[in-house]
Amino acid sequence: MTLHANTIKLFAGNSCPSLAKAIAIKLKTDLSDCLVSKFSDGEINVNILETVRGCDVFVIQSTSQPVNDHLMELLIMIDAFRRASAGRITAVMPYFGYARQDRKAQARDPITAKLVADLLTSAGADRVLTMDLHAPQLQGFFDIPVDHLFGIPVLVKALQKDPFIKNNPAELAVVSPDVGSVARAREMAKRLNVSLAIVDKRRQKANESEVMNIVGDVKGKRCLLVDDMIDTAGTIVKAAKALIEVGGATAVYGCCTHPVLSGEAIERLRASVMEKIFVLNTIEQPLNSALDKIVEISVAPIFAAAIESIFADLPLSRLYE
> What is the b/e burial string over 168-196, where b = at least 16 CB atoms within 10 angstroms of the residue's CB?
eeeebbbbbbbeebeebbebbbebbebbb
Cα(247)–Cα(7) distance, rounded to whole angstroms?
Answer: 56
Instruction: Look up 21 and say whether it is catalytic.
Output: no
195: helix, strand or coil: strand
- Which is nearest to 56 in space by CA: 94, 38, 76, 29? 29
Cα(34)–Cα(13) distance, rounded to whole angstroms?
Answer: 9
Contacts of 12 (CB under 8 A, 6+ apart): 20, 21, 31, 34, 59, 60, 61
- With 0-12 / 13-18 / 19 or more C-beta atoms within 10 angstroms meaning exposed / middle / buried, residue 120 is buried
CB 175 within 8 A of CB 223: yes
Catalytic annotation, pick one of 21, 114, 201, 241: 201
Cα(40)–Cα(227) distance, rounded to whole angstroms?
Answer: 40
CB 181 within 8 A of CB 227: yes
CB 265 within 8 A of CB 233: yes
Q: Which residues belong to the active site?
A: 201
